[in-house]
Amino acid sequence: MQKGLIQFSDVCLDYRLYRDRSVSIMETFMNVFGRKTSREWFRALDHASFQISPGESVALVGSNGAGKSTTLKLLAGIYSPTSGRVETAGRIASLLDLGVGFHPELTGAENVFLNGALLGFDQKKMLDLLPGIAEFAMLERFMDTPVKYYSSGMFMRLGFALATSVDPDILLIDEVLAVGDASFQAKCYDKIFGFREAGKTIVFVSHDPKAVRRLCTRAIWLDSGRARMDGPVDDVLGAYLDANAGKLQKTATSAAPREWGNREVFFSKVTLTDGNGIPTRTFRQGDTLKVNALIETRESREVKNVILGFSIHRPDGETILASNNLENGEPLLTISGSGDASISITPEIVEPGNYLLSISLTGNSTDYHWQDNFYPISLLGAKQIPPLRIDSLSVVEAVTR
């Protein structure tokens, strides 16, 4: 097979679902004696087929649970298909979760060698790659520091630099591009575009249509584990967004604020301020919009891994910007009692106009509290023309008390 080729033939992948994950030996005995416990299967991929030629940049689009991440994990060799065949040719670099192999007690350099070994590279090869990795991650002075002293940004930068250092034939990317600050993000994009120019195969999963259009020429729309549409990026993305817009239309056209969720964790007070903490709903391009939220829970236990997200919509419902602390590589929130969190948004290349801000608290698969189109905001032109940059989005602080 030619290097960089991907063949995905009639692939199914089943997960076992447990109502309660702690299945004990006791339960197995009960199964043996005929008392069936709750065990269900979930088909994440359902006879999905596609082929990707060397040098193609392909986006996988689809709603949550459509099988995008599962597909990447199959391509990376992490999962084996339940049925069907997954074939890849050449070396694969997976940017699925950066820095996971890092051991906090080991230094940056030691972690590079350990991860190199996990990827199948010997010490000598990694010694050659080390200066380049340190330079790209801008961590030359910190390579002999244990990574537990790294900030989350430094951690992610080293992870990205390491994962992309190995000259892959196939690059798998799962929305990890929100690495570090805006300038490092730009550097990451440059690196990925460099791979594309060099004729490497890229498979990209993202919810951001803008990023998808920039990077990919072709898109595959996954829907309930099947490849629903496959073709030029604009056609597929258009169809996908249209189908989704239909779902949103009911609320979007009326532009009515909508609120839902199980309120296990909820926003009890939200104020919008400018960068200096002065409450306002009117901003200038390049100004910082800060969303300060008091988040509460009535549960007696800690609620962990809460994802704080936001999105900004045009009055017609189209999403302009969206992100959350998970995508941003920021720590997830742990709420017990109540806690403060804030989101800082600096819309730089968004057209002046009126917009609606949505904020959300979600868990892994639960909606705690959504406030959709809840906060109208106005954006005025900049005092001076800002330099054209990638929008810098960052959830600056998330402190719980």
Partner 1 sequence: MTGGLLLMKSLVEKDLKVRYKRSFLGFLWFLLKPLFSMAVYTIVFTRILRFGGAIEHFSLFLLTGLLPWNFFSASLSASAKTLLDNQKLIRSIYFPRVALPVSSVIANAVHMLMALGVLEILLIAFGHTPNLSLVTLPIAVVLLAVMTSGFCMMISVGNVYYRDVSQFLEMFLLAWFYASPIIYPLGEELIPPGMEAVIRFNPIAGAMEIFHSTMYYGTWPELWAWISLVAWTAVILAAGLLIFKRMEPSVVKEL
Residues forming the site for partner 1 (CB under 8 A): 15-16, 22-26, 28, 73, 76-80, 94, 96-97, 100-101, 103, 105-106, 110, 113-114, 116-120, 122-123
**Alpha-carbon span 143 to 130, nearest angstrom:** 9
β-bridge mates for residue 349, sequence order: none
Q: Which is nearer to partner 1, 113 or 368 (CB)?
A: 113
The minimum distance between CB 379 and partner 1, in angstroms, equals 38
Q: Which is nearer to partner 1, 159 or 339 (CB)?
A: 159
Q: Which is nearer to partner 1, 146 or 386 (CB)?
A: 146
Q: Which is nearer to partner 1, 91 or 284 (CB)?
A: 91
The minimum distance between CB 174 and partner 1, in angstroms, equals 10
The minimum distance between CB 98 and partner 1, in angstroms, equals 9
Q: Which is nearer to partner 1, 107 or 271 (CB)?
A: 107
The minimum distance between CB 289 and partner 1, in angstroms, equals 34
Q: Which is nearer to partner 1, 13 or 236 (CB)?
A: 13
The minimum distance between CB 368 and partner 1, in angstroms, equals 24
Measured CA distances, 146 to 130, 152, 164 (Å): 16, 13, 21
The helix (run of H) or strand (run of E) holding residue 117 is: helix 108-119
DSSP E strands in 225-366: the ranges are: 226-232, 258-260, 265-274, 282-284, 289-297, 303-313, 319-324, 333-335, 338-346, 353-362
Q: Which is nearer to partner 1, 22 or 151 (CB)?
A: 22
How many CB atoms neighbour CB 102 within 10 A? 22
The minimum distance between CB 44 and partner 1, in angstroms, equals 9
The minimum distance between CB 23 and partner 1, in angstroms, equals 7
User: Which residues have CB under 8 Å from 307's CB, separation 6+?
Assistant: 324, 325, 326, 332, 333, 360, 361, 362, 363
Contact between 307 and 361 under an 8 Å Cβ cutoff? The reply is yes
Residue whose tokens read 């990077």:
215
User: Which residues have CB under 8 Å from 251's CB, separation 6+?
Assistant: 258, 317, 372, 373
Residue whose tokens read 């729309």:
221
